[in-house]
Structure 1
Amino acid sequence: MNLEAMLERCKRDQWKISDLDWTGTPRPMTREDEIAIVQYFTDMAAIERLAKALFVQQAAYACNDTLRKIFHTFVADEERHAVAAERLAAYYDVHHYEKYEVTPALRKFAPPFVHLVKNVSPDIANYYITGGEIALDIALLRSINDYVADPMSQAAMDRINRDESRHLAIDYHMAEYYGSAEYAAVAAELPSPPMAARLRSSWALLRVLYFAAPFFRGVFFEPMQMVDPDGKRLREAFKRMQLLGQKEGERKSWFTQMMAGLQDLYNDSPLFRKTLGPVAARIMGIPAVLMDRFYTEEEARRAAKMSYEELANEALAAKTQF
């Protein structure tokens, strides 16, 4: 990837909340739809600020100045997305049926997740960040927007999706870097962290694993049941995550290997699926139905031979597939 060109694109594609016309009138909605939509945007604002915190840390991890500047533009993007989501929540809160607050599972998950990103190796942090961005970009944002079916949401989401496409491209670039011999050499030269730091890392990871399942259920999977009832977009997002793990001959962290191993056991061993499948799904933080493989053997072989940039472009194209 040409990082200098990406940085110029990041600067060129900035936009302001005031660019949007907020003077319209929302389409008529049922009470159920209005409550759901306002809650989705309320949670979306918190998710975007969580992403902002993660990109602050990614900037700190950045291996060169250009990449650091790119992540700083992402920080600005995510704050703008959060403000846009708050404005959208207010815009669609026509009847004030409820007092809306961020879903409790999201409030509980965010602090330990930020703590994790600061206290584990950056490749593990990038595993979660990339997975979250894929689910957000391919599945959740588009499905919520289609469910809202209103020009105000469309105008905001067009701009947000453009930003998220840049983010996803860099996520794949970082996955390539953290899987490279170059990063392996850098990691090998780092001094072994003291025991206190290792304990903090382990504790941070355990807390995230504990809070991940209710977070993903409350903020991703339950809303997707309403806005993506046939599950096509959610399965497509998980397919893209799974294909990203099919690269051949790349360095994989112990954490990535563990997650892939759990999924392989779930799919290849009927006994494991029956006895320990729910435990594996709980560790991965996803419903058991999403532990299935969503790619064919041919797709896996093809993905293994593709470049990370090609995989990213194909994932981005999947946003308009359904």
Structure 2
Amino acid sequence: MTQNFDFDAMLDKIKDRQWALADIDWDAPGAELISPELHAKLKPFMSDLMWIENVGARGFAAMARKAPTETLRDIYRHFHAEEQKHANAELALMRRWGMLENDEIPQPNVNVKLIIDWLDKYSDQTPLAVLGTVIPMLEVALDGALVKFIVDEIDDPVCQEVFKRINADESRHLAVDFEVIELLGHAKMRKIIVETVGAWMHPSLIIGTLRYIPLLNKMRDNIVAMGVDEERLYTAMKRFRKVGERTPFPNRLPMYRFISWHGSVVINRDHPYHYLADSMVTLTAKYPKRLLRAQPTWSKELTYEPVA
């Protein structure tokens, strides 16, 4: 492990800071503070956020199987549960705000469905060096842009309490994520090269990349449409790049370099890359539903019930 980071102490902190939906008073006043205009925009925004949390949960479950130590495995198992809890809390907020009918669970958009399908098929065989760089990028976008936007824009005190807890969890996730990236960069270059070449020779990574590209562009457009300042998203993405500025080790990882570069072009609307990415968003929107597999059981573990 890296010299200055105590993973055992982090695990103790994670265990000590656990919370449950039952800790929140979901019937407290404040739901009426959501304006009709914001209410209309918020449902698809919250739905996307909820499903990305669900995707993150599955990613951490896969990472737990590949973690090099029992401590890190335990951390990832906790992160898996926390991401699922975040998704459930966001679902409970949608229900509180009257966005859902009865026991309705909003459906993921096609880009998220394609990622869910990929995770179900391939995540358990994907190297930690891949998942360990992709998942942090998604979390940076969540923590640095989406969550902070909600905290700034929504006055409902229950929402504020929920996202204060979520934000604290995500901060710990990112602290571990960034340390693991550095840890992976300490490997011998021969090992890094062999693992990278092996990963890219497997069709699953190509398929995953072709699904990841339109997902991130779709997320970016949805975020901007919601009113999130693009500068906030830019600042969040820069946080990921700064990991490579702390020490030289992250930049030894080809996947870190690729994800970092990709994040920089996603937020630059003038980059020619967007001709490709936007075309892929359009194409995936027309993806035949009959070709989509049934959602796996792990993606159906959403509940608004305030269980302990």
**What's the TM-score once normalised by structure 2's chain length?**
0.74
Query: Is 1:24 aligned with 2:28?
Result: yes
Counterpart CA distance in 2 for 1:21 and 1:50 is 27
Q: Secondary structure at the match of 1:44?
A: helix
Does the alignment pair 1:122 with 2:121?
no
Counterpart residue type for residue 7 of structure 1: L
Aligned to 2:212: 212
CA distance in 2, matches of 1:108, 1:58: 20
Letter in 2 for 1:208: G
Aligned partner letter, 2:272? G
Superposed CA deviations along residues 86-137 of structure 1, whole A, max 9, x for unmatched, are 10111112696x9943222212223224545433332122111111111111
Tell me, yes or no, if structure 1 residue 45 matches structure 2 residue 50: yes
Alignment partners' CA distance in 2, 1:262 and 1:90: 35
What CA distance in whole angstroms lies between the structure 1 residues aligned with 2:100 and 2:81? Answer: 32
How far did residue 222 of structure 1 move?
1.7
Residue type of the alignment partner of 1:22: W
Q: 1:120 to 1:100 in 2, by over 3 A?
A: closer
Structure 1 residue 223 corresponds to structure 2 residue 223: yes
Answer whether contact 1:37 1:148 (CA < 8 A) is retained: no
Q: Structure 2 matches for 1:118-157, cutoff 5 A?
A: 118-157=124-163
Q: Distance in 2 between matches of 1:260 and 1:248?
A: 15
Find out whether 1:58 has 2:53 as its counterpart: no
The alignment partner of 1:101 has SS state of coil
After TM superposition, give the deviation of residue 140 of structure 1 in Å.
1.1
Provide the rounded CA distance (Å) in 2 between the counterparts of 1:13 and 1:95: 30
Say which SS state the counterpart of residue 27 (structure 1) adopts.
helix
Q: In the alignment, which residue of structure 2 is the partner of 1:315?
A: none
Whether contact under 8 Å (1:134, 1:240) holds in the other structure is: yes
CA–CA distance in structure 2, aligned partners of residues 95 and 53 of structure 1: 24
Q: Which runs of 4+ in 1 moved over 4 A?
A: 113-116, 257-264
8 Å Cα contact 2:134/2:259 also seen in 1: no
1:132 and 1:105 map into 2 onto residues whose CA distance is 14
5+ residue gaps, structure 2, are 282-308
CA distance in 2, matches of 1:232, 1:185: 36
SS of structure 2 residue aligned to 1:245: helix
Q: Report what 1:159 is aligned to.
A: 165
The change in CA–CA distance for 1:281 and 1:7 in structure 2 (over 3 A counts) is: farther
1:184 pairs, out of 165, 181, 188, with 188
Q: Which amino acid aligns with 1:166?
A: R
Closer, same or farther in 2 for the Cα pair 1:218/1:90, shift >3 Å?
A: farther
User: What amino acid does structure 1 have at the position aligned with 2:214?
Assistant: P
1:277 aligns with 2:269: no
Partner of 2:290: none
- Alignment pair present for 1:84 and 2:89: yes
Determine if contact 1:41/1:89 at 8 Å carries over to the other structure: yes
Task: Provide the C-alpha distance between the structure 1 equivalents of 2:94 and 2:124, rounded to a whole number of angstroms.
Answer: 31
How far apart, CA to CA, are the structure 1 residues paired with 2:113 and 2:174?
A: 24
Secondary structure (helix, strand or coil) at the match of 1:23 reads coil
CA deviation profile, 1:14-63 (whole Å, cap 9, x unmatched): 01101001112413444442132222222222211211111111111111
Q: Aligned pair in 2 of structure 1 residues 280, 64: CA closer, same or farther (>3 Å)? A: farther
CA deviations on 1:63-86 (whole Å, 9 max, x unpaired) are 111111111111221121111011
Correspondent of 2:7 among 3, 6, 17: 3
Shift of 1:10: 0.7
Unaligned runs of 5+ in 1: 267-272, 287-322
Does the 8 Å CA contact 2:11/2:74 hold for their aligned counterparts?
yes
Q: Does the C-alpha gap of structure 1 residues 115 and 253 become closer, same or farther in structure 2, counting only changes over 3 Å?
A: farther
Deviation for aligned residue 1:156: 0.4
CA distance in 1, matches of 2:193, 2:34: 59
C-alpha separation in 2, matches of 1:227 and 1:279? 20
Q: Give 3-state SS (helix, strand or coil) of 2:27's partner.
A: coil
Equivalent AA in structure 2 for residue 122 of structure 1: L
- Helix, strand or coil for the counterpart of 1:255? helix
What is the rounded CA distance, in whole Å, between the counterparts of 1:62 and 1:262 in structure 2? 25
Give the root-mean-square deviation of aligned CA atoms: 3.5
Note if contact 2:89-2:162 (Cα within 8 Å) is conserved in structure 1. Answer: yes
Identity of matched residues, %: 24
Once residues 86 and 230 of structure 2 are traced to their aligned partners in structure 1, the CA distance between those partners, rounded to angstroms, is: 25
Give me the TM-score of the superposition, normalised by structure 1. Answer: 0.72
